[in-house]
Structure 1
Amino acid sequence: MAMLLTNVYHLRRVADTSDKACLICYKPTTSVMITPDNKDFFYVCPAHLQDRHFCSPIVNAEAEAARRKEEAMAQEIEKVKKEYEEKQRRKKEREKKSEKDDDKKEKDTKDKEKGKDESEPKANDEKERDEKIDSIRKGGTGPKADDSPRIFSLHKNFYQMRVDRLRNIEMAKRNQERMKNPSLFPSVPTGDI
């Protein structure tokens, strides 16, 4: 009557204040491996998850396809942004050339100075916009999700160790219940010796 335990463990993170010793190396860690039915859990360092002799990731094909599609969309968006910036740069160059031609035609020096004063704020606005775009690129649109696998199956030896542990806990509980039952013990002899 051993309890059935599936060899599927999900990786979860806990708060830094709730860290406990790793099952393997006993260092404090916040990574927890837990079964979907919450029957078994243990703390493990993220470095041990990379060890192929400890566990192997279970890859969800749908999630992997969605991640690839998302990456392709991000690349496409980046490509469109670059094309747009290039068009804007060409447009500015054409505008500058036309402004220079207009400035040459003008003979009044005051009008030329006003034209320069007006172009400087435009240049500052363009620089600010470019700086914002660069900061968004460097910082990203938000925090990037951890791409490491989330679902694992333990190596057969470690899995058997977990099953044995749960079986021993169950047997200990049964033994405790038996010890509390007074009918388990023999009765005191009642006759003359």
Structure 2
Amino acid sequence: MASLTNVYHLRRVADTSARPCLICYKPSTSVLITPDNKDFFYVCPKHLQDRHFCSPIIDAEREAARLKEQQMAEEIEKVKKEYEEKQKRKKEREKSKKDDKDDSKDKDAKDSKQSKESEANEEKERDEKIDAIKKGNAAKPDDSQRVFALHKTFYQMRIDRLKGIEMAKRNQERMKNPSLFPSVPSNDL
């Protein structure tokens, strides 16, 4: 029997393919599977957080990429805020210049128009921000770990199970072989 590595990848299946959890027997759509597809079992996501069942294997490259992505997102937000502040200042300057030139009557009419326009623009900006946030949240991958190592007792249980399956197959093959059984005595007494 080839040795089984203690590395299990988390996979999700459709709700219709849910099977009982190895631990609690509740229907689960999470599957832990070895990279060579020799062993797999269904497990609840809450059991994956149990340190006595399994522990996550942290991928350094993935963590570095995730941190870099977070830093980029923070920088983008900072630049967006600065740009919005500059746009607001620019609008205020233009507004103050126009106010100085206009009469008091024109000022009231324009203020009402500008206030309506500014409210519409602010509403539009808010909607765009909300859409961008929703898109950002939807595009974010699941941050939970995807590679696990089983605790030694559970790992040994999986190895024993695979050995048992292999022994059962060998026994079935032996039973099919007629030379395994004793032959009928041939001498007449």
Q: TM-score, normalised by structure 2?
A: 0.90
Distance in 1 (CA, whole Å) between partners of 2:134 and 2:54 is: 34
Paired letter, 1:131: R
Distance in 1 (CA, whole Å) between partners of 2:62 and 2:115 is: 50
Residue in 2 aligned with 1:150?
146
Q: CA RMSD in A?
A: 2.0
- CA offsets 1:24-67 (integer angstroms, 9 cap, x no match): 11110111000001011001111011111111111111110110
Contact 1:3–1:167 (CA under 8 A) maintained in structure 2 = no
Residue in 2 aligned with 1:161?
157
Work out whether 1:130 is the aligned partner of 2:129: no
Question: Shift in Å at residue 142 of structure 1?
Answer: 4.9
Work out whether 1:7 is the aligned partner of 2:6: yes
The residue matched to 2:9 in structure 1 has which SS? strand
Question: Shift in Å at residue 85 of structure 1?
Answer: 1.1
Residue in 1 aligned with 2:40?
41
- Structure 2 spans left out of the alignment, 5+ residues: none
Residue in 1 aligned with 2:68?
69
Q: Which of 151, 157, 175 is matched with 1:179 structurally?
A: 175
Distance in 2 (CA, whole Å) between partners of 1:28 and 1:187 is: 51
- Structure 1 spans left out of the alignment, 5+ residues: none
Distance in 2 (CA, whole Å) between partners of 1:178 and 1:102 is: 104
Distance in 1 (CA, whole Å) between partners of 2:79 and 2:124 is: 17
The more displaced of 13-22 and 94-103 is: 94-103
Question: Shift in Å at residue 149 of structure 1?
Answer: 0.7
Residue in 1 aligned with 2:186?
190
Contact 1:12–1:33 (CA under 8 A) maintained in structure 2 = yes
Paired letter, 1:191: N
Residue in 1 aligned with 2:58?
59
The residue matched to 1:141 in structure 2 has which SS? helix
The residue matched to 1:6 in structure 2 has which SS? coil
Paired letter, 1:152: F
Paired letter, 1:149: Q
Q: TM-score, normalised by structure 1?
A: 0.88
Question: Shift in Å at residue 123 of structure 1?
Answer: 2.4
Paired letter, 1:184: L
Aligned residues: percent identity? 65
The residue matched to 1:96 in structure 2 has which SS? helix
Alignment coverage as a number of residue pairs: 188
The more displaced of 138-147 and 27-36 is: 138-147
